[in-house]
Amino acid sequence: MCDVCGCGDPTIVSEDLHRKILSDNDHVAAHNREHFVSRGVLSINLMGSPGAGKTALLEATRRAAPELRLAAVSGDLATEHDASRLEAVGVPARTITTGTACHLDASMVHHALHDWSDLDADVFFIENVGNLVCPAIYDLGQTANVVALSTTEGPDKPLKYPVIFYKADLVLLTKADLLPHLPDVEPKRIFDALMHVMPEPRMIVLSAITGEGLDEWLGWLRAQASNRELDRELIGGIIDA
């Protein structure tokens, strides 16, 4: 470079982009969403801590509503246990093995959908990796986000992990059968915490063991299906149940 007149100095070019950093993920998510909607499938991104009872919830949903055609993909770092459990109760399920990744992204779900070219279900659950942080920021193409929060996790989780609860359309307070053993955990206190982070707080107290709350959960699923004006013929199982 010339130190007399500056000729040959590099030129700085600036470009305004205002582009979402996850726009590539969002693009794939939109494609997934179109895939679900065009088939009249209600897709639910089910999130929660490891051990919150996500798989048990799906098993209980299957038992409580055998007429619903369910299908699922389960994100798992290392095993196929969750998908095997779901297959054992008659829910067609696949595993997305994430290795060290702590969340699912839209691409992983897209690749999993390649195994479902004949996807014919009323509700498709995307059971995310157990984690209250990372899964929250990735759009997968779901219709709704549901967070399973178990009673044993204590009452302050919504305030500690605000992002995932801010993104949730519904919180399921699972393992309600343990409440008699947890004097410091009151559902009302958890709902109060949700009112600080969730613009439209909605919580169902639920037990996969006793069946408490399952009717309300199924009612919510039916309302989601009809709200989205999905093809009534395809979702007849939900509407008529």
- Using CB under 8 A, list all residues that contact another protein: 10-25, 101-103, 105, 133-134, 136-138, 162-164, 166, 195-201
Q: Which is nearer to another protein, 166 or 220 (CB)?
A: 166
- Name the residue among 223, 225, 218 with its Cα closest to residue 66: 218
- HSE, CB side, 13 Å, CA atoms: give it for residue 104: 30
Kindly state the smallest distance separating residue 47's Cβ from another protein, in Å: 12
Element (H, E) at 95: strand 93-97
**How far is Cα 9 from Cα 7, in angstroms, rounded to an integer?**
5
Q: How far is CA 140 from CA 7, 34, 39, 128, 186, in A?
A: 50, 11, 16, 10, 32
- Largest Cα separation within the chain, whole Å, is 84
Q: Which is nearer to another protein, 99 or 180 (CB)?
A: 99
CB 12 within 8 A of CB 119: no
**How far is Cα 220 from Cα 75, in angstroms, rounded to an integer?**
24
Kindly state the smallest distance separating residue 78's Cβ from another protein, in Å: 17
**How far is Cα 140 from Cα 128, in angstroms, rounded to an integer?**
10
**How far is Cα 43 from Cα 59, in angstroms, rounded to an integer?**
17
Q: Which is nearer to another protein, 23 or 38 (CB)?
A: 23
CB 153 within 8 A of CB 176: no
Kindly state the smallest distance separating residue 44's Cβ from another protein, in Å: 20
Q: Which is nearer to another protein, 16 or 184 (CB)?
A: 16
Q: Which is nearer to another protein, 4 or 21 (CB)?
A: 21
Kindly state the smallest distance separating residue 197's Cβ from another protein, in Å: 7
Q: Which is nearer to another protein, 105 or 122 (CB)?
A: 105
Kindly state the smallest distance separating residue 24's Cβ from another protein, in Å: 6
Kindly state the smallest distance separating residue 112's Cβ from another protein, in Å: 18
